[in-house]
Amino acid sequence: MNSPDKSELCYPDFFNLSCTGLMRPRSETVLLYALFSFISVFTVTLNLLVIISISYFRQLHTPTNVLLLSLAISDLLVGLLVMPVETLRFIEPCWLLGDIMCALSYIIGFTLTSASVGNMVLISIDRYVAICFPLHYPTTITYIRAEVSVSLCWACALLYNGLILKDHLRQPDRYNSCYGECLVVISVISGTVDLVFTFIVPCSVILILYMRIFVVAVSQAHAVQPRFRTAAASTAKFTAKKSEKKAARTLGIVIFVFLLTFCPYYYPSLAGQDTSNSASSWAIVSWLLYFNSCLNPLIYAFFYPWFRRAISFIVTLKILDGDSSNANIL
């Protein structure tokens, strides 16, 4: 068997211990870097717009927007810290950032993903109380409670993922067979726990709450119809149907995108297998998971008219005016 050429070694100085990698064609490398860089910049830009809007305009300092702000921060960090590292991991033939960065990159990525999921659950709870119990909403969901909930969400995400990946942080190269490899393996037990607490439970809560929201929205839309017996009845009927369709469409988008981006990652746990980044499908699965951070601002923010007005203020530099923070954008 011929020895590999030194140009193919990850660390030529460690000929007997170095991993080997196959270089991609230059054109393919440039194309992939351009594509993933665009996704990363797009994710950071969208979430940065959300963060600036909510932080700057006083009218947007509400409990609901505290949750949206937290979601945008977690998604921005995914685009800023996780996506560039994953781009290098996917394109380059070798891992060149060292063992410690190998472990830290996964802890950061999983923590931000867990925080993002937790924020979505908090948003679901907020919308549930606002629509199903509107009279109790101002006293139940306060600004301080929203801030406390967000803080607990981040603390739990960091603690939870730190416990799952603590062995990798203690011994980052425990699964590596050679220099230039970054191999992370999550056992079936840890994967099952992660499946329950990061996917099944949050997904169930979101589904149940949004189904309840949908039922209430439909019942409220139907309640409008008997009040109109004149020619306005046809208008009320049209409005009711429009409300039903809007509620169904929003519910469908939220659930579909969440399941579409998260389901593939948890397939090994569902199949009773270890989760490893050495799997051939890992690149697709992980990028689907992280791409959700690009879609979140589109789903949770672009549907709000105030966000479009805030973007107009930011893009046209009207936020540089003296009293623009008090502008009416609602």
Q: What is the pLDDT of residues 159-174, one digit of tens each?
A: 988 888 777 777 777 7
CA distance 204 to 60: 29
Q: What is the percentage of the chain residues whose pLDDT exceeds 90?
A: 20
CA 289 from chain centre, in angstroms, equals 7
Number of independent structural domains in the chain: 1
Residue 193 belongs to what domain range? 26-326
Contact 75, 294 (CB under 8 A): yes
Cβ atoms of 166 and 173 closer than 8 Å: no
Domain membership of residue 212 (yes or no) is yes
Q: Can you give the pLDDT at residue 157? A: 92
Does pLDDT of 44 surpass 90? yes
Q: What pLDDT score does 246 carry?
A: 55
pTM: 0.82
In a domain, 258, yes or no: yes
Contact 330/295 with Cβ under 8 angstroms? no
Mean pLDDT in residue range 261-280: 64
Question: What is the pLDDT at residue 144?
Answer: 94
In a domain, residue 138? The reply is: yes
219 or 65, greater pLDDT: 65
Stretch 165-194: mean pLDDT = 76
Kind plus residue range of the DSSP H or E element containing 321: none
| Helix (H/G/I), strand (E/B), else coil: 9 | strand
- Name the phi and psi angles at 143, rounded to 5: -60, -45
pLDDT at 158: 92
Whether residue 16 is contained in a domain is answered as no
Is 183 part of a structural domain of the chain?
yes
pLDDT (tens digit per residue) in 208-250: 888 888 788 777 666 655 554 444 444 444 444 454 455 456 5
In a domain? residue 307: yes
Residue 13: predicted pLDDT: 67
CATH code of the domain covering residue 69: 1.20.1070.10
- For residue 66, the model assigns a pLDDT of 93
The strand pairing partners of 179, in sequence order, are 18
**Residue 69 pLDDT grade (very low, low, confident, very high; cuts 50, 70, 90):** very high
Residue 45 confidence (pLDDT) above 90: yes
